């Protein structure tokens, strides 16, 4: 049982050591990238919705 506990503790220590090496984004960079992603999702959603609307109208005309 103690072996399992020691392995778990070693895992968490190593994970923490790796996380200290990560270069995290600043708050400003994170907010900026989030805005870009949200805008791109909206643009793609509008494009897909418009394409679906046009294709469904064309299929209705054909059939």
pLDDT classification of 61: cutoffs 50, 70, 90: very high
The whole-angstrom separation of Cα 30 and Cα 23 is 13
Residue 28: CB atoms within 10 Å: 8
pLDDT at position 63 over 90 = no
Q: Average of pLDDT values for 7-18?
A: 94
Half-sphere exposure of residue 9, counting CA atoms within 13 Å on the CB side? 6
Render the burial of 38-57: b for 16+ CB within 10 Å, e for the rest.
eeeeeeeeeeeeeeeeeeee
Chain segment 35-55, per-residue pLDDT in tens: 999 999 999 999 999 999 999
Instruction: Kindly report whether the global pTM for this prediction surpasses the value 0.75.
Output: no
For the chain, domain boundaries: 24-63
Residue for token digits 């109208």? 57
């Amino acid at each position: 049982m103690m072996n399992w506990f020691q392995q778990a503790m070693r895992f968490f220590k190593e994970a923490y050591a790796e996380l200290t090496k990560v270069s995290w984004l600043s708050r400003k960079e994170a907010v900026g990238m989030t805005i870009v992603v949200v805008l791109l999702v909206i643009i793609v959603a509008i494009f897909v919705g418009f394409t679906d609307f046009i294709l469904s109208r064309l299929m209705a005309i054909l059939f």
